[in-house]
């Protein structure tokens, strides 16, 4: 699927990045470094104070920068209305954030979602479809501590509306994001969002229940079998929704993978794991810190849409249940979870 690559930059006014984690921190810092006026909205005053005092250090694939910028601990400190909002919180926090910003939006404002899961339907219901912009973030990022973030791998942004073709406003937003990483727009953002969702539903969730890095995870035959079934259920749902899904590596389509002979499927998945072998699941990070994961917006989204379309998704449904058990301290994180009796019974 073709995307238009853009280099235009518009300094603009009234730009907020909400969420000072890995993606939000990198986005706000590199925009500011390129002369964009940005307000970074942190989760609490303590985090905002650290960033206001020390700035944000961004290092890794993008070089090494320390950037001072405006950081606030809550929206009440801003006062002004906003033109463009980049929501870089976890998926389960989007609903609350959206309700908080509605009174501060203009009719022409745009609200850009930057989550791993699909939140655009929920966001659109709150801020309005005309304001909602979906965004796929394709670079890797890690938060080491407040104000210290790493771009672990290169990548790009893809932006689009869920209900209409791209327009000039979207081009301007892509130009602003071009300060951070290459950015383009598409008329088929749901295809891109769903493609990333499937990959995360396979890797992030399996990494979360097992506690393994991606390389160690995908060396296990059972994990590769689960990867194939999770993706297969997701693609059945996509077919029922009449949704064409973009390739997940930029070249290989999910349907191509699913129709390969088994030995090629396993070779390709294991190769992908070795390429990113040190990667640790963002959901695993959340569980280790005692926080809620985004599983309801990953595998849970597949389950939800499957029920709406009459497609059974038992493996995805079981994985959602298992992650919730870990969140509620009723299950431990261990590679043995890959051999869960009910989970394996669906293979």
pLDDT in tens, 322-340: 999 999 999 999 999 999 9
| Per-residue confidence (pLDDT) for residue 94, from 0 to 100 | 97
C-alpha R_g of the chain: 20
| Per-residue confidence (pLDDT) for residue 225, from 0 to 100 | 98
Question: What's this model's pTM, rounded to 2 decimal places?
Answer: 0.92
* Distance, CA of 29 to CA of 20 (rounded, Å): 10
Buried-exposed string 119-139: b where 16+ CB fall within 10 A, e elsewhere: bbebbbebbeeebbbbbbbeb
Same fold, 4-187 and 191-345: no
Task: Indicate the average pLDDT of the chain.
Answer: 93
Please identify, in words, the CATH class of the domain defined by 4-187. Answer: alpha beta
> What distances in angstroms separate CA 158 from CA 8, 137, 174, 263, one per listed residue?
15, 7, 8, 33
Buried-exposed string 262-285: b where 16+ CB fall within 10 A, e elsewhere: eeebbebbbebbeeeeebbbbbbb
Residue 235 gets which letter from DSSP?
A: H
Residue 4 has pLDDT above 70, yes or no: no
Q: Tokens 């400190």 identify what position?
A: 77
Q: Which tens digits make up the pLDDT trace of 220-254?
A: 999 999 999 999 999 999 999 999 999 976 678 99
Q: Mean pLDDT, to the nearest integer, of 295-310?
A: 98
CATH number of 191-345: 1.10.1040.10
Q: Which of 23-37, 58-72, 73-87, 190-204 has the lowest mean pLDDT?
A: 73-87
Say how many CA atoms lie within 13 Å of 295 toward its Cβ.
29
Q: Which tens digits make up the pLDDT trace of 102-137?
A: 999 999 999 999 999 999 999 999 999 999 999 999
Q: Which tens digits make up the pLDDT trace of 248-282?
A: 766 789 999 999 999 999 999 999 888 888 889 99
Sequence spans of domains, the chain: 4-187, 191-345
Residue 202 has pLDDT above 50, yes or no: yes
Q: Mean pLDDT, to the nearest integer, of 19-32?
A: 97
Q: Which tens digits make up the pLDDT trace of 139-194?
A: 989 999 999 999 998 899 999 999 999 999 999 999 999 999 999 999 999 999 99
Predicted confidence band of residue 2 (pLDDT cuts 50, 70, 90):
very low
Predicted confidence band of residue 3 (pLDDT cuts 50, 70, 90):
very low
């Amino acid at each position: 699927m073709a995307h238009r690559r853009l280099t235009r930059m518009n300094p603009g006014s009234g730009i907020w990045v909400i969420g000072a984690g890995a993606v939000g921190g990198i986005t706000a810092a590199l925009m500011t470094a390129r002369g964009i006026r940005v307000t970074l909205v942190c989760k609490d005053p303590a985090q905002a104070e650290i960033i206001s005092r020390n700035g944000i250090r961004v290092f890794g694939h993008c070089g090494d920068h320390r950037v001072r910028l405006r950081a606030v601990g809550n929206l009440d400190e801003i006062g002004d209305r906003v033109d463009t909002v980049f929501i870089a919180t976890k998926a389960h926090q989007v609903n609350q954030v959206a309700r908080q910003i509605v009174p501060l939006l203009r009719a022409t404002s745009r609200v850009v979602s930057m989550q791993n899961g699909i939140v655009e339907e929920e966001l659109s219901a709150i801020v309005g479809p005309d304001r909602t912009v979906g965004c796929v973030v394709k670079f890797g990022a890690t938060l080491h501590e407040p104000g210290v973030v790493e771009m672990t791998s290169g990548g790009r942004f893809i932006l689009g509306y869920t209900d209409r073709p791209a327009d000039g406003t979207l081009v301007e937003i892509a130009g602003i994001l071009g300060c951070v990483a290459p950015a383009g727009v598409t008329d088929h953002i749901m295809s891109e969002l769903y493609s990333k969702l499937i990959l995360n539903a396979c890797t992030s969730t399996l990494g979360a229940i097992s506690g393994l890095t991606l390389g160690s995870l995908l060396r296990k035959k059972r994990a590769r079998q689960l990867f194939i079934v999770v993706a297969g259920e997701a693609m059945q749902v996509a077919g029922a929704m009449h949704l064409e899904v973009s390739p997940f590596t930029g070249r290989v389509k999910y349907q191509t993978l699913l129709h390969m002979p088994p030995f090629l499927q396993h070779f390709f998945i294991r190769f992908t794991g070795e390429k990113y072998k040190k990667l640790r699941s963002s959901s695993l990070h959340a569980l280790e810190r005692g926080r809620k994961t985004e599983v309801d917006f990953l595998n849970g989204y597949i389950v939800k849409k499957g029920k709406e379309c009459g497609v059974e998704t038992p493996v995805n449904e079981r994985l959602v249940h298992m992650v919730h058990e870990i969140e509620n301290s009723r299950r431990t994180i261990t590679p043995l979870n890959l051999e869960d009796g009910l989970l394996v019974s669906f293979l």
